Amino acid sequence: MENLDLLKQYHSRLIAIERHSSLTAETYCFEIRRFLEWMKAENLAAGNTAETLAGGKRQVEFDDISRYLDFRRRHDGIDSRSVAKAVSVLRSFFRFLVDERYREDSCAALLDLPRQGTRIPQALPRGEADKLLSLIDTGTPLGIRNKALYELIYTAGLRISEAVSLNITDLVIPENIAKVRGKGGKERIIIYSKSAASALKCYIEEVRPLLLKQKHSSALFVGKSGNRLSRKGIWKNYAALASLAGVSSRLHALRHAFATGLLEGGADLRSVQELLGHSDLRTTQIYTHVDAALLKTSHRKFLPKLKGLNRNEKN
């Protein structure tokens, strides 16, 4: 069995049996594809990696999976939450192998979920976010597209999946609003800045038709081939830009910058929850920890003066 055939079967199971969304199924398969590539790089698969997984002469065991997760921590720098997601995917995949009788046991079932504490979002300071956006080369068609894309993500607080799934008909540029589909297929209205609206107008009128090359597509953001821009493509372009600007390479940092900027400006938590598309207010409340960090900075800044006042009072 080829790897591609195995992944197609697994993808079908995720949709038909486990009832996951197509986006979740793609994310799961992307993680498993990484795992298969790692197996090949580690010479764990004698020939076909799918055969090794399914019970060849050298089966994949618990220790192999543990080493893969360690590799993801060291090489990709993923945090405990991302490790937990990878564990869930591997458990699901090996359960599929057992159910389809490719293996007799699921070694991934022994994996423990890592302990997760309160994760403070890593947000870009506004100055750094503005600097990053200013470095985009708008002298090229792809630069104009990227400017529109990242301005929209930053000023509307979009998830990368939401930006990818946007269609041209979702935008109402004169009113600076758009309709997006978030987690679980939930729709919401977002608001974006005038600078994002200007960048979008330029992209839609001048660049998008060139990239489409007479193709018909409902996608708002398209690549050089005229097809819908992929999440991988957006990550890759952002990573190169972040490296140039010397800031965080995590694209989600732009969404965090949006949220913390709202709170710093005095927005209430409920409004931020609606704009971010969080189903649970507790998810939004984590940004109050970021706000508390700003209070600590101010406290340290003015503490020497407070100490001086206390000494004068004692005298």
Question: For the segment 100-131, what is each residue's pLDDT rounded down to a tens digit?
Answer: 888 888 888 888 877 655 555 566 777 888 88
Collapsing DSSP to helix, strand or coil, 5 comes out as helix
Collapsing DSSP to helix, strand or coil, 178 comes out as strand
- Dist. CA 309–CA 113, nearest whole Å: 50
Length of the chain: 315
First to last CA, the chain: 85
pLDDT bin (cut points 50, 70, 90) of residue 136 is: very high
Mean per-residue pLDDT for 146-174?
92
Do 276 and 282 meet the contact criterion of CB atoms below 8 Å apart? Answer: no
pLDDT of residue 45: 58
pLDDT of residue 173: 85
pLDDT greater than 60 at residue 207: yes
pLDDT greater than 50 at residue 313: no
Please report the domains of the chain, with CATH numbers, ordered by start residue: 3-110 (1.10.150.130), 126-290 (1.10.443.10)
Do 86 and 31 meet the contact criterion of CB atoms below 8 Å apart? Answer: yes
Residues with catalytic function = 159, 183, 252, 255, 278, 287
By the 10 Å C-beta count (0-12 exposed, 13-18 middle, 19+ buried), 213 is classed as exposed
Mean per-residue pLDDT for 214-222?
92
DSSP state of 228: B
Collapsing DSSP to helix, strand or coil, 219 comes out as strand
Q: Which two tokens stand for residue 12?
A: 């079908």
**Between residues 294 and 78, which one has the greater pLDDT?**
78
| pLDDT 10s digits, 11-38 | 999 999 888 888 889 889 999 999 988 8
Do 287 and 263 meet the contact criterion of CB atoms below 8 Å apart? Answer: yes
How far, CA to CA in Å, does 48 sit from each of 39, 92, 132, 187? 10, 21, 43, 42
Each residue of 124-150: b (16+ CB within 10 Å) or e?
beeebbeebbeebebeeeeebbbbbbb
